[in-house]
Structure formats: structure tokens, C-alpha cells
Amino acid sequence: MCKYIWKFAPPTTFAVVFNVLNPFFMKKPKFQLQIPFNPNNPFDKLGQSHNYLVGVLHENYDAEIEAISDLNERQAFIMEKTHDIVLDFYQDDIDVHFLDNVPGNPGLYSNIDFSTYATIFNDMTGLSAADRSTLIDLFNEITTLPIDDDIDVANALCTVIQFENNFLRNEDNQTNSIVLGTIAIAKYSLYYTQTEVEPPAFRIKWWHVLADAIGGTAGGLLAGPGGILAGAVAGTTIYEKCVD
């Protein structure tokens, strides 16, 4: 397991003394899931920003989002609010005009069964054969993993980061925003779903991750790294289509 993905919370001094003197009452230290930051990935910030934006959207617009039953309209609303949030919080860090380059068809993937991710990647115009193969290999590997609790998710995140680092060993891949941005979205999406979304979402986390990641890939092909962020945020509205 990747040690920087998880840790055990240290017990208090009193608890240490008590446990030493009373072995019968010893408790296992509490498991804590760690943020899946990887300093080796130059596009890791896209995943961090995705979780921040989704958190702001849920905190401020959750009721309005849920009230919009049409998924195309819901995605359009989220894109509008995402643009506003980016303007407010990221104007000094990134070029917010990337959102203007995202075509006006936010419902492009609103009726897709994301379990067919290989077909979706194969059908993406502009995705190179090498990038397509890499992303399919990633999701072939991780979507078979159990993610029922924090320890499962930590192991899954470890697998993603190992895949990420293996990809980065080739210097030619270190500027590949499509693959590295999609990987960042996938791991942070899984982390967010595990730590912020209440049950019964546990049973659909991989489909949530796929929706975010595929939305990010599509957005990146249309508008670069900023498009990855916008597409992934829009993807958060449609993962429920995969539950049926």
C-alpha cells in the first residue's frame, strides 16, 4: 500500500499508557484516508480543483441542481456556475476563457452507460491511439477493485498512483495533459465520493469516477487542461445514469 495515501491516527498519551497497562482494552488505531496528492504529476492540481469546485457547487447550489430533472439543463446550469466560481477563485491562477471554448452541448454524455468506457474512449475524436490504450488499461485495472470502505479505497488509490508514476517514467509523457489530467480527475473523484457522498453512493463509486474522468477527457480534447476541469465537473451530474 502507498504509505502516503493512508496513515494511522496516533493515540493520545493517556491512551498509550492505558493500553500498555490494560492490554485487554487495547483498541486498533483509527484508519484515515489521505488525499491522493502526487507531486510527480504536473496536472495533479486539476483533480484538486475538481473536488473544490464540486464542493462549492454542492454547498451553494445543491437544491437548485437537484430540482433540474433534465440532465442537459442540469449540466448547462453547472457549467454556468462553474464559470462563476472559476472567475471568483481562480482568476489569478488560470485563464478562465477556456470555458468559452467548450461547445454548447453539455449533455453529450448524459445518456451513456459508462461501463462501456472502452467504446467511449475508442469513439473520441482527437484521442490518440496511445492515449486511448493507456486510459482503457487504467480503467480495466482499477474498476475490478473493491471499494467498499476506506481501506479498499486507499488500495485503489495506491493502484492509480502506481499506474500514474509508471506512465510518468517516460519523459515524453510528462507533458501529456489528457492522460495525466484524466488520471488526476479519476483519483480525486474517487476520494471525494468516498469522503463526501453519503450511502447508498458506495455502490456506484466507479461509475461516478468514470463519468467524471470521461467528461474530463472529452473537455480536454476540446479546450486543453482547463477543459478537463470543466468537463469533469459537468460529469458529476450524470453518474446516476449508470445505476439502473
The per-residue pLDDT for range 158-201, each reduced to its tens digit, is 999 999 999 999 999 999 999 999 999 999 999 998 888 766 55
pLDDT of residue 231: 81
The pLDDT assigned to 2 comes to 61
Q: How many CB atoms lie within 10 A of CB 139?
A: 21
pLDDT surpassing 70 at residue 89: no
What CA–CA distance (Å, rounded) separates 159 from 132? 19
Q: Is the pLDDT of residue 20 over 50?
A: no
**What does the pLDDT average to over 75-86?**
78
Q: What is the pTM of this model?
A: 0.79
Average pLDDT over residues 70-74: 77
Cβ-based neighbour number of residue 135 at 10 Å: 24
In this structure, the dihedral spanned by the alpha carbons of residues 1, 201, 233 and 235, taken in order and rounded to 10 degrees, is 110
Q: Between β-strands 31-33 and 6-8, what pairing exists: parallel, antiparallel or unpaired? A: antiparallel
Mean per-residue pLDDT over the chain, rounded: 77
Considering 29-43, 73-87, 178-192, 216-230, the range whose residues carry the highest mean pLDDT is 178-192
Nearest-5° angle of CA 26, CA 32, CA 34? 155
